[in-house]
């Protein structure tokens, strides 16, 4: 076994919440979610990643570009030095990890792995190479209200998902909004959940966190809820449309102006901006957060919906939904691994656009009603309902009552491409951490949490054709390709 073998793990009390599946389970009880792959790993990260250039530095360490050795994929690695963080900061870091594990949305950065060695923690996320929000806008030769609405729609969609999951970001700003690539219509993602918090219903937060210019007045008073994120989005939208913040000044003066909550639409800069855009900003920058609109209400605002239309849905692009085979949970989990780790942004692009068109409320989940509206344009109501029920039975693997983003991307993809020879080889190599041509229980557990003796026995019954207690590359491929009916 390699250095990341679970046999060599040391107990890490703070991170126990990061290691799912501590209760005995079986294939029927096994929960298939993308977060089962984000487990804490011990040992040298350089065993698996080639460390490349610096992408930036923070208070606790550096963010670097890394390349996964067995797949060649680029990722971002956030290095956090243990000697630089106090106990509270360490808990915040694990809180960030657990938060990211629970979020599954096209406009939120994806966490891949977490490592630790004697000196550092390492958070490995997807690599977003399109640059920060305002830098990209600055580089554009032309910027319109329609572009601003499309950008804000994506930001708000990510925020809606967070708030539905009871997560408050608390530091939304242009530096924390990155584009996937350098294409003109690139998808954007919210990053840096280091100050985010999970909230209970009707609970208010009291910690003063955020960045001047974007911080909400109620945060300065240490009594706030998730609507502080809506305020930050309002500030971002204001700057996008006129080029400067609504609350200016120097240092403390900025905060004083925010507390007053007074701002202007200078006619010289705003006379060409629509009243609808100004009205949305007013609703987002309402000083009293109890009267301020929610992220969902902002997303549904006419200015957003009118200027950032979805367009017609391409039925050919989602034809694979009805033929997806998702009965076997272990197989579905492995396919989710391939979807999240080995599909390129280019491969995801078309399906991503179709997902956004179907997901009318932007929350990152497709409801039965949303999918029904799509199929009723092609079939009568009875036929459409039958098709939607059948799709949900196959695709809603975790039985959440929705088709989650990763479930959609997996099931709408062409299996021929998703399970191509090169992707199957890459996936096997990522599981086969010691490179001996076999996947052992320890290696599978290292990558995919929740693999105890009971589940491993069932997996062997499904995959281990020669009965040697391990899974060879050919057995791995056969299991995925032959669609075992377990």
Query: CATH number, domain at 161?
Result: 1.10.510.10
CATH number at residue 467: 1.10.238.10
Q: Which residues contact 2 (CB under 8 A, 6 or more apart)?
A: 43, 47, 433, 434, 435
d(CA 180, CA 337): 20
- Whether residues 245 and 353 share a domain: the answer is no
Identify whether 34 is part of a domain. Answer: no
Half-sphere exposure of 43 (CA within 13 A, CB side): 18
Percent of the chain residues topping a pLDDT of 70: 90
Is the Cα torsion angle 442, 443, 447, 451 positive or negative in sign?
Answer: negative
* Residue 446: closest CA among 431, 461, 427: 431
Domain that holds residue 399: 315-481
Write the DSSP string, 378-434: TS-HHHHHHHHHHHHHHH-TT-SSSEEHHHHHHHHS-HHHHT-HHHHHHHHHHH-TT
d(CA 232, CA 462): 50
Average pLDDT estimate for 361-388: 95
For residue 188, pLDDT beyond 80? yes
- Whether residues 79 and 136 share a domain: the answer is no
Identify whether 32 is part of a domain. Answer: no
- Whether residues 241 and 283 share a domain: the answer is yes
Identify whether 253 is part of a domain. Answer: yes
**Weakest mean pLDDT among 79-93, 151-165, 322-336, 341-355:** 79-93
Identify whether 95 is part of a domain. Answer: yes
Q: Which two tokens stand for residue 450?
A: 């929740």
pLDDT value of residue 6:
36
- Whether residues 272 and 377 share a domain: the answer is no
Between 231 and 59, whose confidence is greater? 231
Is 171 catalytic? The answer is yes
- Whether residues 100 and 203 share a domain: the answer is no
- Whether residues 235 and 92 share a domain: the answer is no
pLDDT value of residue 60:
65
Identify whether 23 is part of a domain. Answer: no
Identify whether 18 is part of a domain. Answer: no
In the chain, the number of structural domains is: 3
- Whether residues 358 and 219 share a domain: the answer is no
Which of 126, 154, 183 is the last residue in one of the domains? 126
pLDDT value of residue 14:
38
Identify whether 9 is part of a domain. Answer: no
pLDDT digits over 396-444, tens only?
Answer: 988 899 999 999 999 999 888 899 999 999 999 999 988 899 999 888 8
Identify whether 194 is part of a domain. Answer: yes
Tokens 């997807």 appear where? Answer: 126
pLDDT value of residue 211:
86
**Phi, psi (5° rounding) for residue 51?**
-85, 125
Which of 126, 146, 166 is the last residue in one of the domains? 126
pLDDT value of residue 193:
87
Between 12 and 85, whose confidence is greater? 85
- Whether residues 116 and 135 share a domain: the answer is no
Active-site residue among 83, 89, 117, 171?
A: 171
Question: Does 183 belong to an annotated binding site?
Answer: no
For residue 91, pLDDT beyond 90? no
- Whether residues 140 and 255 share a domain: the answer is yes
- Whether residues 231 and 271 share a domain: the answer is yes
Which of 74, 103, 126 is the last residue in one of the domains? 126
pLDDT digits over 19-48, tens only?
Answer: 433 444 555 555 666 667 777 777 789 988
- Whether residues 115 and 227 share a domain: the answer is no
- For residue 317, name the pLDDT band (cuts at 50, 70, 90): confident
d(CA 16, CA 14): 6
CATH number at residue 99: 3.30.200.20
- Whether residues 224 and 334 share a domain: the answer is no
């Amino acid at each position: 076994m390699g250095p990341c073998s679970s046999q060599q793990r040391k107990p890490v009390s703070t991170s126990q919440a990061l290691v799912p599946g501590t209760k005995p389970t079986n294939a029927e009880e096994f929960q298939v979610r993308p977060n089962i792959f984000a487990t804490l790993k011990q040992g040298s990260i350089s065993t698996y990643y080639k460390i490349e250039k610096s992408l930036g530095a923070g208070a606790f360490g550096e963010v670097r570009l890394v390349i996964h050795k067995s797949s060649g994929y680029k990722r971002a690695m956030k290095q956090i030095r243990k000697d630089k963080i106090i106990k509270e900061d360490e808990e915040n870091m694990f809180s960030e990890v657990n938060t990211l594990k629970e979020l599954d949305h096209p406009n939120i950065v994806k966490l891949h792995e977490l490592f630790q060695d004697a000196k550092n923690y390492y958070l490995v996320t997807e690599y977003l190479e399109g640059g920060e929000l305002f830098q990209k806008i600055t580089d554009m030769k032309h910027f319109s209200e329609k572009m601003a609405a499309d950008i804000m729609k994506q930001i708000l969609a990510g925020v809606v998902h967070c708030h539905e999951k009871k997560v408050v970001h608390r530091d939304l700003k242009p530096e924390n909004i990155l584009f996937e690539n350098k294409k003109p219509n690139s998808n954007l993602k919210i990053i840096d959940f280091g100050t985010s918090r999970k909230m209970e219903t009707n609970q208010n937060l009291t910690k003063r966190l955020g960045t001047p210019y974007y911080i909400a007045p109620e945060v300065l008073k240490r009594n706030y809820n998730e609507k502080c994120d809506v305020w930050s989005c309002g500030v971002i939208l204001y700057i996008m449309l006129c080029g400067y913040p609504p609350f200016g000044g120097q240092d403390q003066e900025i905060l004083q102006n925010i507390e007053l909550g007074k701002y202007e639409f200078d006619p010289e800069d705003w006379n060409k901006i629509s009243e609808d855009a100004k009205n949305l900003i007013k609703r987002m920058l309402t000083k009293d957060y109890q009267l301020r609109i929610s992220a969902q209400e902002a997303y549904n605002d006419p200015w957003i919906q009118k200027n950032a239309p979805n367009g017609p849905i391409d039925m050919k692009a989602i034809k694979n939904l009805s033929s997806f085979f998702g009965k076997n949970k272990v197989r579905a989990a492995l396919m989710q691994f391939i979807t999240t780790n080995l599909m390129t942004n280019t491969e995801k692009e078309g399906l991503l656009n179709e997902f956004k068109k179907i997901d009318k409320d932007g929350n990152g989940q497709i409801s039965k009603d949303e999918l029904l509206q799509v199929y009723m344009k092609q079939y009568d109501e009875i036929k459409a309902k039958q098709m939607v029920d059948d799709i949900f039975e196959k695709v809603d693997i975790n039985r959440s009552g929705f088709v989650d983003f990763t479930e959609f991307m997996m099931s709408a993809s062409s299996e021929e491409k998703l399970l191509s020879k090169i992707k199957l080889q890459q996936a096997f190599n990522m599981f086969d951490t010691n490179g001996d041509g076999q996947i052992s229980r320890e290696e599978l557990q290292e990558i995919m949490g929740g693999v105890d003796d009971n589940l491993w026995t069932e997996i062997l019954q499904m995959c281990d054709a020669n009965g040697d207690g391990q899974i060879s590359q050919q057995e791995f491929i056969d299991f995925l390709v032959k669609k075992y009916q377990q």
